[in-house]
Chains A and B, each alone.
Chain A
Amino acid sequence: MKPPMHVAKENEVASIGLPRVPKQDEQTAVLKKLDDLRSSMRSLMVMLENCTKCGNCAKQCHSYLGTEDYHNFPAARADLMRRIYKRYFTWTGRTFGRFFGADDFDADTLSKWLTYFYQCNECRRCAKFCPFGIDTAEVTIAARHILSEIGIMPKFMQGIAVNMNKTGNNMGIPQPAIVDCAEFMEDEMREETGLDIKIPIDKPNSDILYIPSSADFFTNVDTMIGAAKLFHYLGVNWTIPSTVLEAANFGLLFNLNVMREHNQRLKAAATAVGAKLVIQGECGHGWRAAKAYTDGCSAPVSFEIVHILDYCDQHLGKLPLKKLPLRATLHDPCNYARAGEIVEQPRRIMRACVENFVEMTPNRDENFCCGGGSGILMDEMMEIRMKLGKKKAEQVIALGKLDYLAMPCSICKAQIPVVMKYYGVDDLMMGGVMDLVGKAMILGEA
């Protein structure tokens, strides 16, 4: 079986400190890593040992609904690991094998893992509908971690790791370019409002550290502008660290040690400028990584961590907003709705910024993933990505004529426009929620 993505080469994985284990040692190395993980992550152990195989999760996974590939059915996906786990780490599996659903590690095991654990968006919708709350995303995280530890990962992830190591952001933007981009956006805002709205980079002694998504410096500048206007209006002392120009934490998506290391970098940046408040920009899994994982990675920390939408919502009453004449809807990024409690805030903000806000169904914590989540934005997987996005497209199309689709997450912003186009919708404006705030805010004399 050939995985659908470009796999990083031996010299490439070695360059990020995760050398490839020789073929003949793979099994031993994988089992060793699995043993380590099961004794350090309760979730993994409980989830691998408690599925009753009821099948309720099948219809809840957009990945299975879109691809109709059996191994994308959450319980079947987890079974790719569960069968190995049972075979080597449970008494019943060792003794009775197949009878209890245990299988030998074989030549196909790892390519199946690579193929199917990278078609899971770690969206956690299956956990919502499993009667035991079995969260296949945890199994996916573990599987990707094990693969990467033995030097197997998509080229895409390896490339991001290289960029992160070099610059602290996944697009590999060096500090001078960051400053340039910031100045460009400042000019834009000056033209629009006549005001001197700053985007301060690496400003020492700042109260607030804002961690945008690096894409906000190029493709999603309106999101950045919205945030800058908000901070300007509130008159706060804020900055963006060039060392962590990235709310995303790609480590969460392929290697837990990388995740830990990126998370500690966030702590270092906040400590360096003395920030008491860290605000995370519009990035789904980045928010999860900061909110849920900082404790396990970098505790104790001396700062507060909030999301930009939460922050904006707290100050919503004060903002000079006019309602834009739009019929708009919101796509709930999975990590906000199911792992981050950013649910009502974007709704309140949007209701304040647009005339007509409509809900898609299902929504909130039962929303379907965009199909790009967990960083599987590889170009070579386009066909699969479109299948994963099918459910999302159906949801949006069901709403009829829309003017704006808000999706406050950089991965959604990269995935959904392509999906919508693919399914025949090309007259729809799409972007973040802060974009709307920026556009609806009345600043300056105008």
Chain B
Amino acid sequence: MLYFVGQIFPYIAAAVFLVGMIWRVWTWLNVPVPFGLTLSPAPRTLTGKAAAFGRELALFRSLWSGDRGLWLAAWLMHVSLFMVIGGHIVGISTLGNEFTAIGLTSEQSQRVSGIMAVASGLLLFFTLTVLLYRRTAIPEVKRLSDPADYFDLMLILAVVVSGLHMRLTSIEVDIAAVRAYMGGILSFQPVPIPNEWIFISHFFLVNLLLLYFPFSKLVHLAGSMVNQAMLIASPPVYPSSMKVDSSRVQSNVQIWRGGSQQ
């Protein structure tokens, strides 16, 4: 069992995540855009487009101009999420020594690293809870929500809680052992998983999340980009000499005859 969870399941989850995401994005990009749907005012220059794209993806501009409360919760949730993900990569690979690069001693660095990990973890926990509460508190949103919408939030919460548990209780998980284990996984020479049940649950839940990701609304990670790209495309210019590739549309959407009497 531990062998499966520690040495096989991670590969299944990662493979499903990668292949699944590529497949989802592929199915979208594979479909033509017969009619442009530029949402004006649309930026014309490449820098303008990049800026518009960035404002949406990094700052959630549309939420900002809509609902500031939701914006705050959602934005902080995503920021802390990316801090947590980044923190894992940097923190585990350097064993918490990442801040020696800016002149701290190893000990100071580990302390700062630990504080940041707990802070972003707590922020993530808190904002997820707010979003979960919001989902039940606003009548329209509650009615709109499917079980999966709650499940997504709760699955991420479970990951966060199990992660924080290792930081905030006396259970000590040896980061060096985790690094050795992760190194094994990444170099395709898996070693047994550190036998600490709380770490095992945390790691297992993360794998579940990865496995689930491409099938859930969490694909908005990629979908937001595909969608925004359509909205900021430049509108067509006339006279036009280039024929848009609408061959597929024409075969799918037949033109019915009729028209003027002439």
Binding site for B on A (CB under 8 A): 16-18, 36-43, 45-47, 49-60, 70, 73, 75-76, 79, 91-92, 98-101, 124, 127-135, 138, 161, 165-168, 243, 256-258, 260-261, 265, 291-297, 299-305, 337-341, 343, 365-366
Contact = CB atoms under 8 A, between A and B. Distances in A.
A42 to B, nearest CB: 4
Interface string B36-71: 111111100000000000001000101101110010
By size class, the interface of chain B is 35 or more
A339 B39 contact: yes
B241 interface: yes
A98 B147 contact: yes
A339 B38 contact: yes
Given A55-B144, A128-B62, A341-B235, A40 B256 contact: no
Given A133-B56, A301-B238, A292 B38 contact: yes
A53 B253 contact: no
Interface string B236-252: 10111111101011001
A49 B143 contact: no
Given A56-B63, A296-B249, A365-B40, A50 B224 contact: yes
B224 A91 contact: no
Contacts of B169: none
Interface stretch (B27-35, B170-178, B193-201): B27-35
Interface in B161-186: none
Contacts of A76: 140, 143-144
Contacts of B108: none
Nearest to A161: B258
Interface in B88-102: none
Interface string B1-44: 00000000000000000000000100111011111111111100
B230 interface: yes
A17 B257 CA distance: 8
B146 A17 contact: no
18 contacts: A16-B258, A38-B31, A40-B34, A41-B34, A41-B35, A41-B249, A43-B230, A50-B217, A54-B74, A56-B62, A91-B215, A98-B147, A127-B231, A133-B228, A291-B235, A292-B236, A295-B36, A365-B41
Contacts of A299: 236, 240, 242-244
A153 to B, nearest CB: 13
A305 B239 CA distance: 8
Given A133-B39, A296-B36, A40 B31 contact: yes
Contacts of B147: 98-100
Contacts of A134: 227
A340 B40 contact: yes
A341 to B, nearest CB: 4
B230 A42 contact: yes
B248 A39 contact: yes
Given A36-B253, A265-B260, A50 B219 contact: yes
A73 B240 CA distance: 38
A165 B258 contact: yes
